[in-house]
Structure 1
């Protein structure tokens, strides 16, 4: 948002950005993350319905969210298989 408002100020649409000198709240606790092993990811993917298996694998491998990962299954013409070299 800050970058957007800098552009608006530069274009003289507003006199000053509201995103200047804002005190951010302190971080209260560091988040703990669990990274599943490849075998756990594949076990989860194997348990999913066919159309969701690829979503799980793409999410795990690329860090994409579900909505963006599911785009990997869209756009392929009916009956056409993905290029085998694009694995």
Structure 2
């Protein structure tokens, strides 16, 4: 976790830890990969935002801890310690997930 503290995304970037869907149910039934298609992740860190041409700051739309829906492709893979994370631009993330 100490390595994670050192990476602060630049501008409107968002650092996401992808959520790996379970491969079996609580009853022990194995699930095929097709049923676990939802591409989601948890926001770990966000950048400060970008500046408009007029100088005003546009904040990132997400905050740490948000569950987000990710595009099928894209993002930059980053390995910190033994964990893998992905960097996305704010506008590449499709939305937030609520329970």
Q: What TM-score comes out, normalization by structure 2 length?
A: 0.17
Structure with greater strand percent:
2
TM-score (norm 1): 0.19
Higher helix share: 1
Greater relative CO (CA pairs within 8 A, separation 6+): 2
Larger Cα-atom Rg: 1
